[in-house]
Amino acid sequence: MANKTNNYKFPKPEADDFYDISEYNKAMDILDDSLTEMDQKKLDKNGDASEAVTEFEQEILRENIESGETLASTFGKIKKWFTEMKDIAFSGNAKDVMTDAAHRFVSDAEKISWNGKVGASGGDISETVIETLESIDSKYPIPVSGETAKVFMGKVKKYVEDTKPLDADVMVYVDTTGSDTDGDGTIEKPFKTIQHALDVLPKDLGGFTANILIADGTYPENVLVNGFHSGNIYIRPKDRVNVISDSCIVSSFRLFHSTAYIHINSIRMIEVQESSGALYEPIRIDGRVLVRLDHVKIVENYKSGLTAVFLTGRSSVNVMDSEISNHLHAVHVDDSNAYISNCIGVNNSSVIIATSGGRITQNGTKISGDEYSKINTGGEIINQYGAVIGTLQSNTNLYVSTTGSDVTGDGTSTKPFKTIQHAVNALPKDLGGFAVSIAVYDGTYGEIVYIQGFHNGILSIARYGNWTTLNTTCNVTGFVCGCCTARITLAGLNLTRTDEPGVKASECSDIVVWYCQSLTTSDSGFYFEACVGRIDSCKTKNKKWGMIAAYMSHIMSTEWSNGSFGTDNGIAATNGSIVHLVGNQPTGAWQYGTNSGGQFVLENGTQISGLMAPGLSCTWGTITGGYVRHGNLNGPAMITIQLRVGVTTDLAAGQAYYVRGFPTTAFSAVPVSVHRQDAIQACYIERDTISIVFNRNILTNDSFYFNVTYLTNS
């Protein structure tokens, strides 16, 4: 039986085949096995498909499954999907994902970084790290809103660097060949400008010293030093110190509002014009600044308008061993303090000026100028001996010699001054109750010495060694003394002035002239106006007067040297002056001359005086003559009246007529003699008035002479 069924392969007899029971049984066995297997493997609607087996092929395209399709088709599609799935679909790990530059997952490092970030509303940034900061060049930068953290914190870093105090002394080098861009201030890489060297320093110096060391050259800078505190700034040449030099030149320094101690040494300043044409002072100090200028040189020719060193704002400066020339003022101190020691210079309009309470203290050699000092609005100038307006501190001895120096001398015997005037100018006006002795070595001093305004002490100018003899070896042109209440003594000097008195004094309350001679003047030898004093053991030869006492002077004239005379006259007392005479006196054609109430008194108290007429009055006639006072000038004295009255109007008999203005009588009704007794009924003086009664009428142009001596107590 060759035929079989298509699926289960049951035997299938042909039409002409015999029925074979064995084939039938065989077919039943196959059918039984098949049905059994089908029964075992069939899948019910709600059955268990765990053992079901499906054969299928992977689909070509990746398509979605559809309802109604065979399992083979469905599973073929599914296989296609699974085949093309990557490891990530099965592992679930992000590490199994393949990424590219444009499409990738966030890395673990990025996740860590993001996890460390905070939102705009705030958060913890304590662990945030800024890898790099922006480089900032500006001084004291201020952060502003909207900046990145890199810029913001870069500014903060620079601000801290600018304000952080020094923690050690530093050396900052400057050279004209240096660079403010690439330099770092070391000796190998110096800065180019002094200003930049200062700008890189913190304002708080931390108690340390910043040394700005400058190579030789010219620096056309108006250097600003501003706001430094708590330390020192030392600006000097790199290769020298304490030398006045032209090797290191800077235009100017402006020092403002710094409490640090600023020291400028061995630098020359030359002013530079601004574009506006204005000039900077070489040194300007303002705002409580403390400065020392050592061996600086300021000699440019700005005499018409500039001050070399100007100080204001309650600042202080020491100017030491420096040279200042050719300026309007060498040093001007306004509301501040300056100490000037051993400085030199010439051709200044004025040397020092103190205004608005400013104080200048000076010592040693001095700068010279057309006018040495000026004081306005409470300024004060002090030197090693005291103050021009101030007080001497002790007894003082100064020395003057023709071989000395007013520049390098200090007034000691080993370093004397050259001129007497310089020694006088070195003294305070208030001598503080002390005595100053200026000893003058022999020689010729062609100067007229002015002594003005000294008080509260003694100022003596005398020949060194032997001042108690007349001589022609210690020669001074002359002296002019004024407005002194201190005792002024001149001794042992030969006065050579020819046109004016050798000593001319006014308004001095105690002046003494000893062993001085004035032999060449054509005026009076000695002249006193409104003075109290003494002239003793002197000598004079001249063409007018040996001595004149004028305008209420009170002079003791004692023991003149033999041979003293005035070609014309001896001594004059005028305008209410009193001269007491003891011993030899200068002689002359008119030895004692008086007018306008001048008086002489001898050593025994006897008055020598001209007739006194001022104060006398007579309504009926003209007075000629007057009275003379004998004895005390005040208190008891004898008065002698000698006068003539020329009658200027007709007088009636029996009527009293008067002459008034005499010293008051000690007694009443003292008789007065009249040369015309036949015409007189009565005549006497009582109190200060002469009373006369005629016994007959007297006509105009008649005259009468009166004579009486009486005692006065006034």
Burial of 277 (0-12, 13-18, 19+ CB in 10 A): exposed
Alpha-carbon gap, residue 308 to 269, rounded angstroms? 9
528: amino acid identity, one letter: F
Domain segments of the chain as ranges: 3-41, 164-382, 621-712
The number of helices, as runs of H, and strands, as runs of E, in the chain is 7, 51
Alpha-carbon gap, residue 494 to 127, rounded angstroms? 96
pLDDT tens for each residue of 74-105: 888 888 777 777 777 777 787 777 777 777 77
Look up residue 163 and give its two tokens. 């304000």
Alpha-carbon gap, residue 231 to 262, rounded angstroms? 9
pLDDT tens for each residue of 381-437: 887 766 666 688 889 999 999 999 988 888 999 999 999 999 998 888 899 999 999
Say if residues 45 and 26 touch (Cβ distance below 8 Å).
no
Say if residues 84 and 62 touch (Cβ distance below 8 Å).
yes
pLDDT at 615: 80
Mean pLDDT, the chain, whole residue set: 87
Instruction: Tell me which residue of 550, 629, 542 sits closest to 586, measured CA to CA.
Output: 542
The proportion of the chain whose per-residue pLDDT surpasses 90, expressed as a percent, equals 54
pLDDT at 177: 96
Q: Per-residue pLDDT averaged across 556-580, rounded? A: 85
Burial of 699 (0-12, 13-18, 19+ CB in 10 A): exposed
Burial of 246 (0-12, 13-18, 19+ CB in 10 A): exposed
Cα torsion angle, 17, 18, 23, 28, sign:
positive
Q: Where are the beta strands (DSSP E) in 578-655?
A: 578-582, 590-595, 599-602, 607-609, 621-631, 637-647
Q: Hunting for tokens 């303002």 — which residue is that?
A: 286
Q: What are phi and psi of 39, to 5 degrees?
A: -65, -40
Say if residues 428 and 392 touch (Cβ distance below 8 Å).
yes
pLDDT at 633: 63
pLDDT at position 460 over 80: yes
Alpha-carbon gap, residue 260 to 209, rounded angstroms? 9
Q: Is 230 helix (H, G, I), strand (E, B) or coil?
A: coil
The H or E element containing residue 504 is strand 503-506
pLDDT tens for each residue of 189-232: 999 999 999 998 989 999 999 999 999 999 999 999 999 999 99
CA distances, 651 to each of 194, 379, 575 (Å) = 103, 70, 36
pLDDT at 271: 65
295: amino acid identity, one letter: H
pLDDT at 195: 95
The proportion of the chain whose per-residue pLDDT surpasses 70, expressed as a percent, equals 91
Alpha-carbon gap, residue 527 to 544, rounded angstroms? 11
When mean pLDDT is compared over 357-361, 531-535, 581-585, the highest value belongs to 531-535
pLDDT at 708: 95
Say if residues 643 and 623 touch (Cβ distance below 8 Å).
yes
First to last CA, the chain: 202
Confidence of residue 120 (pLDDT cuts 50, 70, 90): low
Instruction: Tell me which residue of 538, 472, 520 sits closest to 528, measured CA to CA.
Output: 538
Length of the chain: 714
Q: Per-residue pLDDT averaged across 659-663, rounded? A: 92
Query: Bigger pLDDT: 304 or 524?
Result: 524
CA 24 to chain centre: 145
Instruction: Tell me which residue of 171, 211, 173 sits closest to 192, measured CA to CA.
Output: 173
Residue 404, Ramachandran bin (φ over 0: left; ψ between -120 and 50: alpha; else beta): beta
Q: Is 125 helix (H, G, I), strand (E, B) or coil?
A: coil
pLDDT at 525: 92
CA 662 to chain centre: 65
pLDDT tens for each residue of 225-246: 999 999 999 999 999 999 999 9
327: amino acid identity, one letter: H
pLDDT tens for each residue of 13-49: 777 776 677 777 777 777 777 777 766 666 666 766 6
pLDDT tens for each residue of 300-346: 877 667 899 999 999 999 999 999 999 989 999 999 999 999 999 99
pLDDT at 265: 97
pLDDT tens for each residue of 254-297: 999 999 999 999 999 986 555 555 667 899 999 999 999 999 99
pLDDT at 610: 59
Alpha-carbon gap, residue 408 to 415, rounded angstroms? 8
Say if residues 518 and 546 touch (Cβ distance below 8 Å).
no
